[in-house]
Structure 1
Amino acid sequence: MSTNGPRNSAYVVPDGVLLGHLTPGTAAWEEARTGLTITATEIAAVVGLSPWMSRFTLWHKKAGLATAPFEMTPAIEWGTRLEDAVALKWEEEHPGQLAAPAGTWRHREREWQRATPDRLIYPQPHGEFDIPGQADELLEVKTSPFGDEWGADGAEDGVPVWYRCQVMWQMDVTGLRRTRFAVLIGGWDYREYTVDYDETEAKILRDAAERFLDDVRRGVRPDIDGATDTYQTIKLQPDGREDRDVEISVDLAARYEVAQMQAKAAERELTHARSLVLDEIGDGYRATCNQRRIAYRTVREDGTTRALMPYRQKDAA
């Protein structure tokens, strides 16, 4: 946690109750997120917009069924390590404002509604021990290897929709009405964005969350989708194996067998396309088309190619 700012920060927001400053992956952090609650990082999954968790997996988690445990991936680790540095850059760009670690909050009345913003923005205090009073805005700090999913610096619609859901939820929990984004892309491209509270959007998310939690209470499981984490969640549900046959429908059997054949054909086509692109790159670094980056080479110490990696392309929509 950052040591920037006054030691006696008030941690006051209009609608939120502070639950504490909890470290991701700890028992206290898990406890604040489990049960019939919805957090800001979960709301995009509720409405089917999360690139990391499916609605199916979240339902199992909230129902107390087996799901994969939290994993501290390199991306999460380095995002956490760089958070203070990026937040400090934002403070330097905004003299007179202080970005203090926010902690985990619940809504004052809707206790099931939880959020852990990255920072609370306060007016800069005059002395080291001054209490800044009520926070004015939220600051969300993000790091990303590529900028494809982000718009131009400062663009009104520059924030990916899943992060917009996240901060809309955070604002709905805390009662603050503006979120600033400080984003570091590729280790050097610093950008800022602003998202203002929208009451209509917030209500859509809140209503969806209430319906979702009601489905959990009633045992109404979401449909199975094509997300990888849905498959991983299903794999965790059986306990052991019985020596018996299970009859499935003709349609499902055909779908599985056709998908297997199509997957093999798609893998061959992908390998063919990789070979063609890599051959054209030669000893270059990137493959581009009409100034759009398509793929890039990673290399070994001896200069030979380790892999051809795709650039993530922003959805056309």
Structure 2
Amino acid sequence: MNAPTGILLGTFEPGTPEWDQARAGLCITATEIAAVVGLAPPRWPSAFTLWHKKAGLPVPPFEPSQAMEWGNRLEPAVVQKFSDEHPELLVLETGTWRHAEREWQRATPDRILHHVEDLRHTEGPLPATLLEIKTSPYGGDGWGPSGSDEVPLHYRCQVQWQLDTLGLKACHVAVLISGHDYRTYLVEYDEADAELLRAAAEEFLDSVRRGECPDPDGSQITYDTAKLQAAGRDDTEIDIGPHLADRYRDALDLSRAMDDERRRIAAQILQRMGTARYATSLGQRIAIRTVKEDGTTHSLMPCRTGEKAH
């Protein structure tokens, strides 16, 4: 282990003006780097949204989901479990850091770890590793066997950014999956990955300075961000060109065709289900049938991927 070389900016309460200030301006944080390289999951801000945020333009307000709320509530329990299994490590809260040389590179790890033996024998800055706490309420997609380094790719980006920012070599990741499956991982610093992430971040920040916005993707948050960029309405017309017009018409036709196909298949499933609650296949639940007060079908909804049939 080695001691952190990053600079601790302070410990700030999430959501406070001080917290926002530590993450404001032309900087990239560990939770933003996955969006920069196009690996953010659907519920996270896209590169398009992040670009507008860094440019000081309107973006949709952050609205924490129930999964995020319960992740925060469960974090102390997961930390305690990790501490119970690793009495040789001192688990401490930490704050927001920046790289010693690259002021725009920021990270706020969940915890910082010191070996108990080092407290007795080490003078000066203490060697450290990091601890990230995660919850995965809907299953273990992307999580490998406990003890490996197989974590979802967007989390790997986050961890590599944290390690690179603080100048550390390893991060433990503790995750609670589906409320009962506890696993731990050890992700080591990868210099090649860190260089790729830094290069992408520098190019992204340069694109903000140049005013060159990335192309929109198909996420809901990108669409919501685009809607916020114009206020008011002029009685004018804008020629979007035949290529974009044809793509829009084709997308509408495809959407209508997919809606028709979805309804056709759903009707076939309901016809097979009768009064059953779940539709299953190969030992997994595929869809759930909800009913109205009179017992007739209200809707057919997809089940979570990997949900097992009883």
- Normalised-by-shorter TM-score class: 0.7 to 0.9
Corresponding residue number in structure 2 for 1:117: 109
Contact residue 278 and residue 289 of structure 2 kept, 8 A = yes
Percent sequence identity is 51
Structure 1's 279 and 95: CA in aligned 2 closer, same or farther, altered over 3 A? farther
The SS at the match of 1:265 is: helix
State yes or no: 1:194 paired with 2:186.
yes
> What pairs up with 1:11-22 in 2 under 5 angstroms?
13-22=3-12
SS in 2 for 1:29: helix
Describe the SS at the equivalent of 2:263.
Answer: helix
What is residue 100 of structure 2 aligned with on the other side?
A: 108
1:263 to 251, 255, 258: 255
Identify the residue that residue 221 of structure 1 maps to in structure 2. Answer: 213
Give the conservation status (yes or no) of the 8 Å contact 1:25–1:70.
no
Q: Does 1:208 align with 2:192?
A: no
Unpaired runs of 5+ residues, structure 2, are none
Structure 2 residue matching 1:268: 3-state secondary structure: helix
Q: Which residue is equivalent to 2:159?
A: 167
**Residue 120 of structure 1: how far off its partner (Å):** 0.8
Match of 2:33 in 1: 43
CA distance in 2, matches of 1:83, 1:300: 38
Specify the SS of the correspondent of 1:244: coil
- Contact 1:50–1:162 (CA under 8 A) maintained in structure 2: yes
1:7 alignment partner in structure 2: none
Query: Which of 235, 238, 243 matches 1:246?
Result: 238
- TM-score for both structures, normalised by structure 1: 0.84
Structure 1 counterpart SS, 2:183? strand
Q: Are 2:20 and 1:30 aligned?
A: yes
Following superposition, the deviation at residue 126 of structure 1 comes to: 11
Cα gap change, 1:119 to 1:211, in 2 (>3 Å): same
Contact 2:149 2:186 in 1 (8 A): no
Residues 146, 300 of structure 1: CA spacing in aligned structure 2 closer, same or farther, 3 A cutoff? farther
* Correspondence for 1:309: 302
Deviation at 1:80, TM superposition (A): 0.8
Give the secondary-structure state (helix, strand or coil) at the position aligned to 1:266. helix
Q: TM-score, normalised by structure 2?
A: 0.86
Shift of 1:280: 5.0
Distance in 2 (alpha carbons) for counterparts of 1:65 and 1:203: 29
Give the deviation of 1:309 after TM superposition: 3.0
| Displacement after TM superposition at 1:154 (Å) | 2.1
Mapping of 1:118-197 within 5 angstroms?
118-124=110-116, 134-154=126-146, 156=148, 158-197=150-189
**Tell me, what secondary structure is at the counterpart of 1:210?**
helix
1:276-315 to structure 2, matched below 5 A, reads 276-277=268-269, 280=272, 287-291=279-283, 294-295=286-287, 308-312=301-305
Once residues 283 and 244 of structure 1 are traced to their aligned partners in structure 2, the CA distance between those partners, rounded to angstroms, is 54
* Contact 1:106/1:113, CA 8 A, preserved across alignment: yes
Greater CA deviation, 39-48 or 13-22?
Answer: 13-22
* Cα contact 1:297–1:305 (8 A) shared by 2: yes
Counterpart amino acid of 2:33? I
Range with greater deviation from structure 2 (300-309 or 189-198): 300-309
1:285 is displaced (CA, Å) by 6.4
| Per-residue CA distance 1:133-191 (angstroms, 9 max, x = gap) | 62521111111122242333226452110000000000001111111111111111111
Alpha-carbon distance, 1:125 to partner: 8.1
> Using the alignment, how far apart are the partners of 1:155 and 1:240 within structure 2?
55
Distance 1:169 1:281, change over 3 A: farther
Q: How many residues align?
A: 299
What whole-Å deviation, never above 9, does each CA across 1:48-106 have from its counterpart, x for those lacking one? 11112221111111111111122222222111111111111111121221222222111
Q: Indicate if the aligned counterparts of 1:97 and 1:123 stay in contact, CA closer than 8 A.
A: yes
In 1: Cα distance, 2:215 partner to 2:289 partner: 39
CA gap of 1:163–1:278, structure 2 versus 1, over 3 A, is farther
The letter for the 2-side match of 1:41 is T
Root mean square deviation, CA, Å: 2.9
Q: 1:97 to 1:279 in 2, by over 3 A?
A: farther
Deviations 1:251-275 (CA, angstroms, capped at 9, x unpaired):
2222112211211221232233344
Does residue 94 of structure 1 match 2:86?
Answer: yes
Cα separation, 2, equivalents of 1:148 and 1:286: 22
Gaps of 5+ in 1: 1-11
**Does the CA contact (< 8 Å) of 2:142 and 2:153 recur in 1?**
no
- Indicate conservation of the 8 Å contact 1:124/1:132, yes or no: no
Moved more, 145-154 or 78-87: 145-154
